Structure 1
Amino acid sequence: MKINGQFTQLSRITVKLASQSHRSRGYREMERFADELDLAQYQTDLMTMSAITAIRRQFEADAGRKDCRDCGAPIPQARLQHVPRAHRCTLCQERHERRSSPH
């Protein structure tokens, strides 16, 4: 069968080209580049996970806060009822929002 013979010949050529490209300098450079990208992604993932962990710890530490983060005064009970996880008294929160505002 002519088609089977052509397929077999094509397969041999493909294998030969693949083995040659594996040994080529360009292939080694591409592998090295891919390894560098993998390492960069791994480092980015580690930094991201570290930042998330730090934020979670800070959030958990502040969750039971009863005193204002900025001035240290007790956060009024009425504010805690409306905003259970408030970190600042009303006055300090307003100041914080004005400073953070892009206007």
Structure 2
Amino acid sequence: MATGWAGDDAVHEQIDATVKDAVERARRQLPAGPGRERCEECDAPIPAARRRAVPGVCLCVDCQAARDEQASFSGYNRRGSKDSQLR
């Protein structure tokens, strides 16, 4: 259903454009280049296969997993009841 001067698919086009812009922005922020041969944090060797798979890699698998785990902790119980979310 069209409203005002907008076309029938205007909302979907706007959503698609927003998603496309977000994906492009995220891709520009990805590291690039050959990557490091040793981990920045623990100085462990980074295998050549990982360097080929992840351009610009600077952490070994263990250090990257630890960093990802830290970043994903929000402190909120999102699976609990509504009461637990209201605290």
Normalised to the residue count of structure 2, the TM-score between the two structures is 0.47
Structure that is richer in helix per residue: 1
